[in-house]
Amino acid sequence: MSNSEQEYNHDFQSALQALMHGQSIQGEKFPSGFYVALDESGIAAQFDVKDNNRRFGNFFLTVGLYKQKYRVLVTLKDAITH
């Protein structure tokens, strides 16, 4: 399944459930390449697949993040949306 076939069909809570089960998620308003996953300490963090999966910091909750739709990534390269 390519990233163009993946819909943003998860609300914030279902995306968090996926995250807690070890999956990576991406919000509909995230820049291309950015995704959220748990780091080695179990902390939700932002990463950029275009920058060798570099960690950009912790995933802080804001109203904007709560209101957008999410998708669960099949592969990390699916985070590149162009």
Answer yes or no: is pLDDT of 6 > 90. Answer: no
Answer yes or no: is pLDDT of 57 > 70. Answer: yes
Domain that holds residue 51: 12-72
- pTM for the structure as a whole: 0.86
Instruction: Place 61 in a pLDDT band, splitting at 50, 70 and 90.
Output: confident
Q: What Rg, from alpha-carbon coordinates, does the chain have?
A: 11
34 falls within a domain: yes
78 falls within a domain: no
Pairwise CA distance, residues 68 & 42, whole Å: 23
Return the pLDDT at 71.
Answer: 96
1 falls within a domain: no
* 44-61 mean pLDDT: 91
**Position of tokens 């089960």?**
21
Return the pLDDT at 4.
Answer: 43
* 23-52 mean pLDDT: 94
